[in-house]
Amino acid sequence: MVVLAALAAAVGMSVYVSPAAVHPDAQVHVYVSDLNAPSALVVLHGGIARRGKWFQWVPLQPDGGGRWSAILQTPGLLGIYPVRVRVGRVVHPTTATVEVVPPRFTAQPGFSTPAQVAQWWAFVAKPGVMIKSVTTWRSGFYTHRDPTYNRLLRVEFQLLGNWPQMHLRRGPHVLYLSVARRLTSGPWRLLEVVTAP
């Protein structure tokens, strides 16, 4: 009966975030409307601070008339973070996300698969980068992010010459690419190059 009440309370709920695109370790305002409940909580799903501390559920403050709000810290790692609302024991996914992305993220080419992002990176990064394998990495802080929107790719590649800017010499190497997409059906783009997960 409690679960049914929590589900009924969130029917028709709307969630809005401002600003929707921010820097790491900033703040965002979350606004929830049409939520009729005695109390509710909100979290940026998969968010962790720079020092590895998991984000906790934050109480939403009632503004009256089924409207609620909260101020949330943004994660320390680049990524796309969906907003989740909890009423009682029931967690409600929402369509709202917080984008912690680099400047001109959306100006980059988008691709239908994460592996295609790695191929593009090798093409534009430096002449003489030959990719050997691309796999999804599944441990470490970067993999706490929602995999629907975020992936960490382990890229094995061969350098045909020295790469002083990355402090890499000719030969085999491994780097990690953090990639993300803004929508569940949207294109994947490069967030950043990570030397270790």
- The tens digit of pLDDT for each residue in 18-47 reads 998 999 989 999 999 999 999 999 999 998
Q: In terms of DSSP H, where are the helices of 33-127?
A: 114-125
Contact in structure between 58 and 41 (CB atoms under 8 Å): yes
Tell me if the pTM is above 0.85. Answer: yes
Looking at residue 27, what is its pLDDT? 94
Contact in structure between 99 and 22 (CB atoms under 8 Å): yes
Q: Tell me if residue 182 falls in helix, strand or coil.
A: coil
ω into 147 cis (within 30 of 0): no
Mean pLDDT in residue range 172-179: 95
Q: Name the token pair of 53.
A: 């501390």
CATH topology of domain 2-100: Immunoglobulin-like (2.60.40)
Domain segments of the chain: what residues? Answer: 2-100, 105-194
- Calculate ∠ Cα 123-126-130, nearest 5°: 60
Q: Name the token pair of 69.
A: 């709000």
Q: Tokens 């009729």 sit at which residue?
A: 36
**β-pair type (90-100, 21-22):** parallel
CA 141 to each of CA 47, 68, 93, 110: distance values in angstroms, whole numbers, following the listed order:
10, 31, 22, 24
Nearest-angstrom CA–CA distance, 156 and 133: 5
- The tens digit of pLDDT for each residue in 93-139 reads 999 999 999 999 999 999 999 999 999 999 988 788 999 999 999 98
Residue 9 has pLDDT above 80, yes or no: no
- Say which amino acid occupies 145: R
